[in-house]
Amino acid sequence: MQFSDDVIYTVDVAEGEGILAAALAQDVPVLHQCQSGSCGSCVCHLAAGKVEMRKDMSASLLKSEQDAGMRLACISQAFSDSVLDFDYDSKMGEKGPINVTVFIDSIDWLSDDVIRLNVELADGQWFDFKPGQFAQIQVPGTNQVRRYSMSSSPEDLPKIEFLIRILPEGLMSDYIRDTAKVDDALEIEGAFGSFFLRDISAREPHIMIAGGTGLAPIMSMLDAIRKKNGIKPSILLSFGCLNSSSLFHVDELELRTDWMPTLKTRISLNQGEAENNIIIGNPLQALQPSDVTAEDTVAYLCGPPGMISAAHSMLEGFGLKPENIHAEQFVASE
């Protein structure tokens, strides 16, 4: 197992044993969370050998990602001596996730189906995360947890913000919509996920693509870059929602472009009429090959699986290197 800081671990994996389980047992700092093939935290790239994911478990990796050599370590088994690449620093996973209590500061409707939840860490508690990572929030009164990306940046701690998509029915949706109130305590665990801003000081142009509340981790990245002093990279964000009643954060994005002249945004709606610079279509259709001006352009994508898959091939077609495309599939938590 090779990490981006050239730290290499050799792990013995028994026949039929899960690679993640073996790695964790041998103290290899692999990021992980669900251990069941869904969250995508333990994603890695098969550089050599034969590693296959179990056929009897569902994986959140796209076919195209699997074909490109990507594997989820938690549901993978080794069939020969193999080399797996993890595209983050080996120190990332050394500090495991922790449990903390937060208190609700505010609950605001941003659109027909998105709520902004602002919370604050309890007195004396702390929580570290990288921009783009997520936390698990326990639904009060149950033992169920739901995953949400932090939309605020680490600089905003002890304040944390989440963007919550409210579904007509769902455990967390019902709680947030009907029960939650200011000063309520929530138990959260984190941080998780290997979708995070790789280099806060990067100068290479950035392309960011977000669909719906997939904007949350992207907002965290934007604010982290903005708050890092000095010269900023050029950033093109393409953000799309279904229609005008589900659209949110237009004002927040406008503020970001005011504050950070190197940021350009394009906003698209799948349905509706073109007005106020809004593009009709999906956030991928809002991008053209000419938007990629450098071959070392870095991309961060967060949205529904279909969008991610299409974005991958589109950006590669535009000349981006596959290793510079970082993606997280977003599935609304109920």
Partner 1 sequence: MNEQKATRRRQAKGTSEFRQNDKKTQSQYQPYKDAEWGFINHWYPALFSEELAEDQVEGIQICGVQIVLRRVDGRIHALKDQCIHRGVRLSAKPMCFNKETISCWYHGFTYNLESGNLDTIVGNPDDKVIGTVGLTTYPVEEVGGMIFVFVRDDDFPDEDVPPLAHDLPVRFPEKSEEFPHPLWPAAPSILDDNIVARGIHRTGEANWRIACENGFDNAHILVHKDNTIVQAYNWTLPLGIRPVSDDCITSFEEEGAPKGMMQWLFSDRWEPVLENKQLGVKIEGANSRFYRTSVVLPGVLLVENWPEEHIAQYEWYVPITDDTYEYWEVLLKVCPTDKEKEAFNYRYDRVFEPLCIRGFNDCDLYAREAMQDFYGDGSGWESEVLVDTDISPIMWRKLASKHNRGIAKQPAGVQGNVKASSIRLKNLAAGKAPGYLVDKIDD
Question: Of 266, 248, 320, 314, which Cα lies nearest the Cα of 64?
Answer: 314
Binding residues among 193-222 for partner 1 as defined by CB under 8 A: 201
Residue 181 parent element (H or E): none
Binding residues among 125-144 for partner 1 as defined by CB under 8 A: 125
Instruction: Supply the Cα-derived Rg of the chain in whole angstroms.
Output: 20
| 264 in Cβ contact with 257 (< 8 Å) | yes
Angle between helices 215-227 and 250-259 in degrees, nearest 10: 20
Total Cβ atoms within 10 A of residue 219: 26
Question: Of 175, 173, 265, which Cα lies nearest the Cα of 215?
Answer: 265
Tokens describing residue 305? 């699986």
Identified binder of partner 1 from the candidate list 85, 87, 174, 187, rule CB under 8 A = 187
Site string for partner 1, 10-49 (x = CB under 8 A): ----------------------------------------
Q: Work out whether 227 is an interface residue with partner 1 (CB under 8 A).
A: yes
Residue 66 CB, nearest distance to partner 1 (Å)? Answer: 38
Q: Counting beta carbons within 10 angstroms of the beta carbon of residue 108, is it exposed (0 to 12), middle (13 to 18) or buried (19 or more)?
A: exposed
Q: Work out whether 184 is an interface residue with partner 1 (CB under 8 A).
A: no
**Span from 36-44, 84-92, 229-237, 318-326 in contact with partner 1 (CB under 8 A):** 229-237
Indicate the length of the chain as a whole number.
334
CA distance 159 to 174: 23
CA distance 119 to 101: 10
Token pair 């610079």 is found at 277
Q: Work out whether 123 is an interface residue with partner 1 (CB under 8 A).
A: yes
Identified binder of partner 1 from the candidate list 251, 273, 275, 290, rule CB under 8 A = 251
Nearer of residues 61 and 100 to partner 1, judged by Cβ: 100
Q: Work out whether 89 is an interface residue with partner 1 (CB under 8 A).
A: no
Identified binder of partner 1 from the candidate list 25, 122, 274, 331, rule CB under 8 A = 122
In single-letter form, the type of residue at position 334 comes to E
Identified binder of partner 1 from the candidate list 103, 202, 270, 309, rule CB under 8 A = 103
Residue 123 CB, nearest distance to partner 1 (Å)? Answer: 5
Nearer of residues 12 and 123 to partner 1, judged by Cβ: 123
Nearer of residues 27 and 258 to partner 1, judged by Cβ: 258
| 223 in Cβ contact with 156 (< 8 Å) | yes
For CA atoms 188, 41, 328, 334, give the dihedral sign: negative
**Span from 5-13, 25-33, 214-222, 248-256 in contact with partner 1 (CB under 8 A):** 248-256
Residue 99 CB, nearest distance to partner 1 (Å)? Answer: 6
Residue 267 CB, nearest distance to partner 1 (Å)? Answer: 17
Q: Work out whether 56 is an interface residue with partner 1 (CB under 8 A).
A: no
Total Cβ atoms within 10 A of residue 161: 20
Query: In the complex, which residues of this chain contact partner 1 (CB under 8 A)?
Result: 99, 101, 103, 105, 118, 120-123, 125, 158-159, 183, 185, 187, 201, 227, 229-231, 251-252, 255, 258-261
